[in-house]
């Protein structure tokens, strides 16, 4: 059977815990200190990790679903309980859509069950929307400051949470009411289409430059600067929130950044002094010399390189 295993000992405040993950073609299994973790969501949140991968650079011009996933990963790092809340929402959404299909095809007439799903979806959806909106409010000033340092352009940059409801996210109770009303209003078309048309699964993260949508008006270099600004802002926010710098994973990002932005990235990391794991196609992309250990992966073998 094909299988991949990954493990790490994490020393946090003098307490050492062992994290392990086994990946198989049709399943995955997480272990914490040698014990299987169920549900898997309990495996997360023990320490913070920020991943910066090449595909992140395509997020500003990508589909809304990509930006939602990008935002959700960051919100989870800020509030680990968000993962379970999002999973609960997705579970109810899947059940509601299944019932909508049954109602459309006249295999069911159970509107009472639809009422139950609508109430659950409104409550879970409102919580998800509020967490997203509050995170965006927290990270926005750091994002703007980081972008100004990286891009050095006159046009102001900004980001905002963009709910499909078309109104600002306020108190959670108000959002519950607004989402419940929207679900009731769109029920007929939802049954006809067998899909839920409103809720946080339809929302977006809006990036702008000079007051215009960044995906349409910003250059490729400016878009990459935005993603780099987001990641550095995320590191700052998480360090302030949790009292320690997260681990940073850089997956061959330096080869995708121009030299000036790559230099900014490593200047920022030298100040932060966070633990960083970097994969790269060439060592010259890694602009760090102190406290550095290099390994080469060749034909499935990992070899530590001589620092001399």
**Domain annotation for the chain: domains and CATH numbers:** 1-43 (no CATH), 44-304 (1.20.1050.90)
Closest CA to 151 of 223, 73, 53, 57: 223
Average pLDDT on 153-182 reads 89
Residue 305 DSSP symbol:
P
Model pTM score: 0.88
Q: ∠ CA(213), CA(217), CA(218), 5° rounding?
A: 100
Tokens of 109: 């007439």
End-to-end Cα spacing for the chain: 41
Is 80 exceeded by the pLDDT of residue 20? yes
Average pLDDT on 4-32 reads 86
The confidence band for 307, taking pLDDT boundaries of 50, 70 and 90, is low
Tokens of 97: 């859509």
Cα(295)–Cα(302) distance, rounded to whole angstroms?
6
Residue 11 near residue 40, CB atoms below 8 Å: no
Average pLDDT on 214-226 reads 89
Is 90 exceeded by the pLDDT of residue 255? no
């Amino acid at each position: 059977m094909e299988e991949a295993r990954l493990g790490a000992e994490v020393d946090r405040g003098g307490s050492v815990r062992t994290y392990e993950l086994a990946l198989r073609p049709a399943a995955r299994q997480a272990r914490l200190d040698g014990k299987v973790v169920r549900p898997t969501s309990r495996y997360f949140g023990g320490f913070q990790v920020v991943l910066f991968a090449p595909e992140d650079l395509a997020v500003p011009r990508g589909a809304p679903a990509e930006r939602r996933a990008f935002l959700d990963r960051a919100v989870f790092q800020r509030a680990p309980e968000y993962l379970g809340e999002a999973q609960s929402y997705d579970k109810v959404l899947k059940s509601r859509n299944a019932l909508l299909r049954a109602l459309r095809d006249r295999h069911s007439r159970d509107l009472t069950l639809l009422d139950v799903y609508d109430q659950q979806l409104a409550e879970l959806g409102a919580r998800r929307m509020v967490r997203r909106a509050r995170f965006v409010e927290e990270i926005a000033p750091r994002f703007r400051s980081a972008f100004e340092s990286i891009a050095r352009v006159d046009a102001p940059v900004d980001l905002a949470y963009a709910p499909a409801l078309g109104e600002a996210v306020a108190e959670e109770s108000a959002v519950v009411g607004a989402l419940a009303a929207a679900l009731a209003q769109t029920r007929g078309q939802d049954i006809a289409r067998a899909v839920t048309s409103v809720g946080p699964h339809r929302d977006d993260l809006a990036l702008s430059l000079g007051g215009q949508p960044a995906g349409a008006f910003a250059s490729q270099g400016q878009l990459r600067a935005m993603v780099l600004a987001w990641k550095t802002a995320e590191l700052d926010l998480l360090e302030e929130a949790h009292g320690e710098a997260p681990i940073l994973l850089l997956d061959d990002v330096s080869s995708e950044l121009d030299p000036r932005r790559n230099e900014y990235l490593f200047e920022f990391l030298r100040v932060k002094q966070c633990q960083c794991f970097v994969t790269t196609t060439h060592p010259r992309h890694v602009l760090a010399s102190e406290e550095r250990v290099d390994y080469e992966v060749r034909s499935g073998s990992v070899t530590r390189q001589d620092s001399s």
